[in-house]
Structure 1
């Protein structure tokens, strides 16, 4: 099996390939959420996280090894390590949140990642936060409140973890985009799961119990979906800008809502849809605005360049 672009994608331009990979990653990540929930009904979530990474290694390393040792080469190992650290925190938070709150609600909260990316860009890269960006972030924050509907007494720990997961996944997305500039997609995918195995086994040891045959099936499907989702996600980021792909993420909400309804008899509340749409619109505005600003800068630099 080869991890090069699928044959029927090769004739497509890079942007369309990236969109196709994004849609496939969304599908597999959404299905993965179902298997996270099913697996955690039988074993501790810490074990679920470990087996997601361990079984992914069993799936992906033989495949990558067949492509040659060049698949494992790291040009910036420090960045790989940081990605594993932030990725493990994001994985822990998002996995646990899926077991505590409705799947559609967890999915809607995940749409806040682009908002976090914009805020992080301000603090980490010194990007200017002008009025339109601030307004879009504020509108996205309103969407968060609509979904969460906090009362004066308590906010669900599952909701808090979902936001934490979105925050660390936004950091992860920034790192992935940096890595794709100089690293192969194969290396990015392989080293992530390899590094996450020793990180995730430590907490799993303290709650260890051997999975049943049915749970093994769930865990295998979880690892398979996670591996494909991660691979397609990374491939998409290597072909196109994050800003051009973000609007397609919203398809995950109706997909998650449908699966949650069919499998878990969960019907997302009215406010989950309203808040999700508001967050989606604010993130689309942010990503489109960033793309427009970037294009304007490129055009201006070309006009000012010496002839």
Structure 2
């Protein structure tokens, strides 16, 4: 866990991201189980963040790398923490309000919202490829949720709204993380997010915490540990491979969510999900492909300019 740039290892990146997708789906399942047993959403967030902070801090301390957590950008970390806390509230809320498969599928719309945010906030010009991806993605949402033809069992309008705000926040936060990545290590970004949000969630604990039986505590702590592992796996995957390549592995979370939904919550994913999810996934992949093409074009242009300047 050092701050240096790791050597690209595509196959390892894919494997690690595959494990991350499994961990995130498992965390969602544990969140839903704990919530059904009376654990409050804020309580779940507190334990997730506290365990991440403690485990990451201890790991860096034991390896003599606490210096990696030094930062000159605490205000930027605080802004990211505020957005991240709000994002976690909606992400966990979607899992609690919707069936796992539907909540997971809506989460895949984050790249689509990223394009919308780029248009609205950054006045970025969007070409036909990304416009097509936006249209395809939201068509997939309509197919999955069937808002005009009667909602599937367990799906509510409130759940859909929360489930769409969650990926919007994820997309918004991605721009903050991109900015932090220019000066901070991935471990610093993860640690300060947990360190700043755990105390904030703790302030609300006296108002939401209730007594739990041992099994519920096992679920809560398991959720926190799996969530911390998922965060580390996500960060590690980006050290060994490009986001555009490893994005494919994220979509395997839908398979795990569907399995958990059937095996643990006795609810099979509806046919509409298997028709709509491919549209949302295809939209995300199209955006990732187009972003990669644009990045290559920018690099080629920069090299031509540098070459021309050196010859003057």
Q: Does the C-alpha gap of structure 1 residues 16 and 73 become closer, same or farther in structure 2, counting only changes over 3 Å?
A: farther
Q: Unaligned 5+ residue runs, structure 2?
A: none
Shift in Å, 1:286: 1.2
Alignment partners' CA distance in 2, 1:196 and 1:294: 33
Paired position in structure 1 for 2:104: 107
TM-score (ref. length: structure 1): 0.89
From the superposition, tell whether residues 18 and 121 of structure 1 become closer, same or farther in structure 2 (CA, over 3 Å).
farther
1:60 and 2:56 aligned: yes
- How far residue 32 of structure 1 moved from its aligned partner, in angstroms, is 0.4
Are the counterparts in 2 of residues 185 and 238 from structure 1 also a CA contact under 8 Å? no
Q: Deviation digits for residues 35-75 of structure 1, max 9, x if unmatched?
A: 10111122222222222222333333222222333132123
Residue in 2 that maps onto 1:124: 121
**Consecutive aligned runs of 4 or more in structure 1 exceeding 4 Å deviation:** 152-155
Counterpart Cα distance in 1 of 2:254 and 2:15:
17
Backbone CA RMSD of aligned residues: 2.2
Instruction: Name which of 20, 23, 26 aligns with 2:15.
Output: 20
2:105/2:277 contact within 8 Å kept: yes
Cα distance in 1, alignment partners of residues 229 and 32 from structure 2: 19
Q: Structure 1 residues 167 and 275 mapped into 2: Cα distance closer, same or farther (>3 Å)?
A: same
2:52·2:225 contact (CA, 8 Å) conserved in 1? yes
- After TM superposition, the score normalised by the length of structure 2 is 0.88
- Between 87-96 and 295-304, report the one with greater CA deviation: 295-304
Q: Deviation of residue 152 (structure 1)?
A: 8.6
Give distance in 2, aligned partners of 1:236 and 1:80: 22
**CA distance in structure 2 between the aligned counterparts of 1:110 and 1:294, rounded to whole angstroms:** 25
Q: CA deviation at 1:257?
A: 0.6
Q: CA 1:23–1:292 in structure 2 vs 1: closer, same or farther (change >3 Å)? A: same
Question: What is the aligned partner in structure 2 of residue 172 from structure 1?
Answer: 173
User: Relative to structure 1, is the Cα distance of residues 134 and 188 closer, same or farther in structure 2, using a 3 angstrom cutoff?
Assistant: same
Q: How many residues align?
A: 300
Shift of 1:136: 1.4
SS at match of 2:268: coil
